[in-house]
């Protein structure tokens, strides 16, 4: 769950980096009711039963400046207005700050950091410099420096709630969930409708097994944005952990209803727990009355479960029933293809992958799997066309590179075959198939020593594979020439 809700954090951070500007005055509004709701340490002190002076005294103590600057607080009703006065503005430092922002906008974080460090040397009490440097360090995955800079920004300006948000995000990334939770709560007290902060807080609370808190926060997100599928997916995961199957399924169905083609919809359909077993019905009869199912996603879930337990025939049969009714579901066609491929039904698998491609021709994975089927069907020209499209659309994994090399070998394009097979091995040093086909290319080119080296490696490998027998045969053929 953590990784799913971190999606979007980088985008927000980049936006903050672009928009942040040096200020002589930093102002923010604390919503006292939100602070009561989200800040455990201030819950009693900020209760509405306290008078204005008691509220002021608590806030003045909590947010007092110990490093630099002056803080001014005014309370009106259930809101507190804060103003932090930047004590020193150095024009040369400001100019460096502007240059750093421009470099950061172009993702040249190293140059930006260098400029912010120079700005800090000229004016070490401006929190903007530390805040932006912290974000840039985060972009470089230098989390220690990110934390140090963001933390110091808060020491200088305790109301810099954006720094609390990014700190909470960094700690979530580092799986330091309690620290993440504390910083996110502090940020939300100032900005109580920030969806990203709320999502990350709900995630941290869930991991800490504060399930009731997690549900409350996810529900709050859904109230703010009824189409935020991550909120319903998060609730579903918690309900599943609590064995509240009905509530979990309702939330999973909500994910699918809101964004049926989104990435979370595919996960949700797999995780739905069926009330009625299509598996039992299918085992009794070749026909399933799909109309008797409250939701077809339950059939999808059972098909996925069968696949996980290696019952590929059952999985393929269930997916086949599913797509016979929901023929516009690309994920279902892809899954049907995968199950059929595992069963050795190559034509059926190829047809399913092509259906998925028709529905979403931008998905590189579908072209890759279709190419795999075509290669196994000895349709090498078509296989080359499909695997090239997969590669052009972004597929660059070891298997794709191996398949490219293998098909180029079939077409006697040895130089290209060597290029892609070497890349495949570089990406995965345990790719036995790439080693074998590279040896075949070298043998075709008359490079006996290179071919033998790769074949010996396969034969002596601890990996169990039928390619060892083929490698021994090819090695004997080379020795006899």
Contact criterion met (CB below 8 Å) for 79 and 30: yes
Last residue of a domain, one of 187, 203, 219: 203
- Domain membership of residue 263 (yes or no) is no
- Domain membership of residue 294 (yes or no) is yes
Number of domains observed in the structure of the chain = 3
Q: Which of 10-19, 160-169, 432-441 is least confident?
A: 10-19
What angle do the packed helices 9-19 and 127-139 form, to 10 degrees? 140
- Domain membership of residue 80 (yes or no) is no
Q: Which of 55-64, 78-87, 281-290, 449-458 is least confident?
A: 281-290
Same domain? 409 vs 328: no
pLDDT band at 18; cut points 50, 70, 90: very low
Give the structural domain span for 131.
9-69+87-203
Query: pLDDT tens-digit profile of 348-390?
Result: 999 999 999 999 999 999 999 999 999 999 999 999 999 999 9
- Domain membership of residue 226 (yes or no) is no
Same domain? 91 vs 113: yes
Same domain? 41 vs 140: yes
Same domain? 311 vs 404: no
Contact criterion met (CB below 8 Å) for 190 and 157: no
Q: Which of 180-189, 301-310, 466-475 is least confident?
A: 301-310
Same domain? 368 vs 437: no
């Amino acid at each position: 769950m953590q990784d799913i809700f971190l999606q979007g954090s980088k985008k927000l951070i980049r936006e903050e980096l672009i928009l942040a500007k040096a200020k002589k005055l930093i102002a923010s509004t604390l919503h006292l009711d939100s602070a009561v709701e989200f800040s455990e340490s201030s819950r009693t002190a900020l209760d509405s039963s306290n008078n204005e002076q008691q509220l002021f005294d608590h806030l003045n103590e909590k947010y007092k400046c110990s490093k630099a600057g002056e803080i001014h607080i005014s309370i009106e009703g259930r809101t507190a207005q804060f103003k932090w006065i930047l004590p020193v503005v150095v024009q040369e430092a400001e100019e460096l700050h502007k240059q750093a922002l421009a470099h950061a906008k172009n993702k040249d974080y190293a140059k930006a950091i260098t400029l912010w460090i120079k700005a800090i040397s000229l004016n070490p009490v401006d929190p903007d410099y530390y805040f932006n440097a912290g974000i840039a360090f985060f972009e470089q995955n230098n989390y220690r420096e990110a934390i140090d800079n963001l933390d110091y920004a808060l020491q200088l300006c305790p109301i810099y709630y954006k720094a609390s948000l990014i700190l909470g995000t960094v700690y979530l990334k580092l799986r330091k969930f309690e620290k993440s939770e504390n910083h996110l709560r502090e940020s939300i007290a100032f900005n109580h409708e920030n969806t990203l902060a709320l999502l990350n807080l709900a995630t941290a609370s869930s991991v800490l097994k504060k399930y009731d808190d997690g549900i409350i926060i996810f529900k709050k997100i859904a109230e703010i944005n009824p189409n935020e599928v991550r909120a319903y997916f998060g609730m579903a995961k918690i309900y599943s952990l609590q064995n509240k199957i009905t509530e979990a399924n309702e939330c999973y169905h909500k994910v699918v209803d809101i964004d049926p083609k989104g990435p979370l919809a595919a996960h949700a359909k797999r995780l739905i727990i069926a009330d009625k077993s299509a598996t039992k019905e299918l085992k009794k009869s070749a026909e399933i009355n799909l109309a008797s199912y409250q939701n077809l996603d339950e059939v999808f879930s059972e098909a996925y479960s069968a696949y996980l337990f290696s019952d590929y025939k059952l999985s393929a049969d269930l997916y086949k029933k599913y797509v016979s009714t929901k023929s516009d579901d690309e994920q279902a066609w892809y899954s049907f293809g995968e199950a059929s491929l595992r069963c050795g039904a190559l034509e059926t698998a190829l047809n399913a992958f092509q259906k998925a491609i028709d529905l979403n021709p931008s998905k590189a994975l579908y072209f890759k799997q279709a190419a795999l089927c075509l290669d196994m069907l000895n349709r090498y020209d078509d296989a080359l066309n499909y695997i090239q499209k997969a590669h052009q659309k972004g597929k660059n994994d070891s298997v794709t590179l191996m398949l490219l090399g293998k098909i180029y070998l079939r077409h006697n394009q040895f130089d290209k075959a060597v290029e892609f097979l070497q890349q495949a091995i570089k990406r995965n040093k345990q790719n036995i198939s790439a080693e074998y086909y590279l040896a075949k290319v070298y043998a075709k080119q008359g490079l006996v020593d290179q071919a033998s080296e790769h074949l010996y490696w396969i034969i002596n490998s601890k990996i169990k594979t039928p390619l060892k027998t083929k490698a021994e045969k090819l090695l004997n053929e080379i020795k006899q020439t």
